[in-house]
Amino acid sequence: MDKKIATIQDVAAEAGVSTATVSRTLSKPSVVAEATREAVLAAVERTGYRINATASNLRRQRTGSVIALVPNLANPFFSQILAGINSVLHPVGYGLLVADTQAGPNLDDRLSGYLQSGMADGLILFDGTLPVEPLTTPGRPPVILACEWMDDDLPSVRTENARGASLAVTHLLEMGHRHIGHITGPKGNVLSQTRLSGYVETLSLHQHEQRDDWIFDGDFSMDSGAAAAQKWLQLKDRPTALFCASDEMAIGFMGAVQHQGIRVPEDVSLVGFDNIEVVGHLSPALTTIRQRRTQIGEQAARLLLDMIEAGTLTGVSEIIEVELICRDSVARIPT
């Protein structure tokens, strides 16, 4: 016997709500109370209800797709954010397409193609260095930035980058460190600049020394962290602790100095930024600033869906709080 196909009425009965509430939850989840949204989505799962996305998109003249443009797909930082985006898009019938902005030539042309080809109903950008001109083209779909930001005209969801840097440096100061260095992200990147500013301002606030030779260039990669370690090793007067603008750079630094017989945290303490999955499994486990990456993705997707539904190119921006995660990579220095 054929299994009965679940209807929207079945979902409503299972969740204990009206069919209008089910429809509203699936088309515009951000306007529904969290408890109601969770009840409806759980009912969808239990009943096996499937949205007829093709018919719905034809009626609304939409593609049913959202494109996420990521600057480096190999970077594990983005995985949780993309999962968060998909967890919001999938239940309401949207597909997620992912493209790497660093892959291939002619980025301006490719970006214009994404914006003007009708490939997607909206875009989520992870790269704040993309050219602005295509993003202001009339007739483009809604765009929101995740993690990075450009200006007030484009909405974004990001974390407290300056406060995260301040939490990291303050923790090192509280642990007795007075000689604190910093490994930066890539030059010109808004995250790099904001985290560097947080580092400098916190040292200044506590009237502690900030030296140019204790600031090491990086690009968020493990290789750049290892390169910073080589420069640190060459210094006669080394900082006893480093705030790294990304976990990957902290990992690269840690591995490079450990290969030279330097102990972490006994000889140098480290704090990272991001809380990617691997850092809790290092030896020592890395103290870091946690970005709520799943929440960033979820909220970016919800805000983008609101813009798509409203037919607007403008939207609100949100800043999500960060958290210091203390592990084993920071030693206390007697004062």
Residue 74 lies in a domain: no
Taking CA atoms, 319 is separated from 135, 147, 148, 158, in Å, by 22, 9, 11, 5
Confidence of residue 87 (pLDDT cuts 50, 70, 90): very high
CATH number assigned to the domain comprising residue 16: 1.10.260.40
Average pLDDT (85-108) is 83
pLDDT band with cut points at 50, 70 and 90 for residue 58: very low
Question: At residue 38, does pLDDT exceed 90?
Answer: no
The answer as to whether 112 is a domain residue is no
Residue 57 confidence (pLDDT) above 60: no
Residues 286 and 165 in one domain: yes
Please tell me whether residues 165 and 285 are part of one structural domain: yes
pLDDT band at 59 (very low <50, low <70, confident <90, very high): very low
Q: Is residue 17 part of a domain?
A: yes
Q: Indicate whether 246 belongs to any domain.
A: yes
* Residue 150 located in a structural domain: no
Query: Which of 255, 275, 291 is at the close of a domain?
Result: 291
Residue with tokens 């989505």: 41
Q: 307: pLDDT confidence band, cut at 50, 70 and 90?
A: very high
Query: What six digits make up the tokens of 12?
Result: 């409503």
How confident is the prediction for the chain on average, in pLDDT? 88
pLDDT digits (tens, 9 = 90+) for 166-216: 999 999 999 999 999 999 999 989 999 999 999 999 999 999 878 999 999
pTM for the whole thing? Answer: 0.79
Structural domain ending residue among the three candidates 32, 50, 68: 50
Please report the pLDDT score of residue 43 as a whole number: 86
* Predicted pLDDT at 51: 63
End of a domain among 33, 50, 67? Answer: 50
244-260 pLDDT, tens digit per residue, is 999 999 999 999 999 99
178 found inside a domain: yes
Could you give the CA distance from residue 54 to residue 38 in angstroms, rounded to a whole number? 24
If one compares 67 and 72, the residue with the highest pLDDT of the two is 67
Q: How confident is the model at residue 145 (pLDDT cuts 50, 70, 90)?
A: very high
Q: Is residue 101 scored above 50 in pLDDT?
A: yes
In which band, very low, low, confident or very high, does the pLDDT at 37 lie, cut at 50, 70 and 90? confident
- Please give the tally of structural domains in the chain: 2
What pLDDT, on the 0 to 100 scale, is given for residue 7?
81
Q: Does residue 265 have a cis peptide bond before it, meaning omega lies within 30 degrees of 0?
A: yes
Residue 104 within any structural domain of the chain: no
Q: Give me the mean pLDDT over the 270-289 stretch.
A: 97
In this structure, the number of other CB atoms found within 10 A of the CB of residue 159 comes to: 24
Residue 142 burial class via C-beta count within 10 angstroms: exposed 0-12, middle 13-18, buried 19 and up = buried
Q: Which two tokens stand for residue 221?
A: 């990669």
Q: Which of 227-231, 233-237, 311-315 is predicted least confidently?
A: 311-315
Residue 141 lies in a domain: no
Three-state SS for 178? Answer: coil
- Show the domain range for 221: 161-291
CATH number of the domain residue 270 falls in: 3.40.50.2300
* Pick from 62-66, 166-170, 230-234: least confident: 62-66
